[in-house]
Amino acid sequence: MQSPANEKHWYAVYVKSRTEKKVLLELVYQNIDAYLPLQKRLRKWSDRKKLVDFPLIPGYIFVYITRKDYDRVLKVPGVVTYVRFEGTAAVIPDEQIEIIKRLLNQHEHKIEVSFKDFKTGDEIEIIAGPLMGVKGVLTQLKGRNKVAVQLEKLQIALTLEVPINEIKKTNI
């Protein structure tokens, strides 16, 4: 059994603007487990179109570390600070990292990131499709049904369009 000091947890770190991929490479080079959620977007130039990987959550990288690696992460060039919740570095539950991975692995729904706090609306659970079991908040945007999956420790919501027949009302 691991002692609390040797137990690994997910943390989110802020990085300098547009340095996410470079910081990720440096973290991996230093043998620090890191995860940068990337989403493909179509970029258009005057002569071509290409799918390019962009950070799903600009300015954030997730690190899976023990307490002893905490300061080492801060020394990586480009890392600004840890995302804090109530004054201390926020431990991100494993389930929330898994939700992000599941969202990125599905290709049926477009994902948007919002830094708004979704407090109103129906609490729902997705009951069909690749995201079955994910709970969130139903919002109406531009006449379409969208689900906001709230990640409280990061104070963000991932919003995706889900057919109304694939959700049910629930108490989260």
DSSP string, 112-169: EEE-S---SS-EEEE-SSTTTT-EEEEEEETTEEEEEEEEGGGTEEEEEE--GGGEEE
CATH for the 4-92 domain, from 3.30.390.30, 3.40.50.300, 3.30.70.940, 3.40.50.360? 3.30.70.940
CATH architecture of 96-169: Roll (2.30)
> pLDDT digits over 87-103, tens only?
899 999 999 999 889 88
> Which residue ranges in the chain fall short of pLDDT 70?
1-3, 107-109, 114-121, 138-146, 148, 150-152, 163-165, 171-172
Domain limits of the chain? 4-92, 96-169
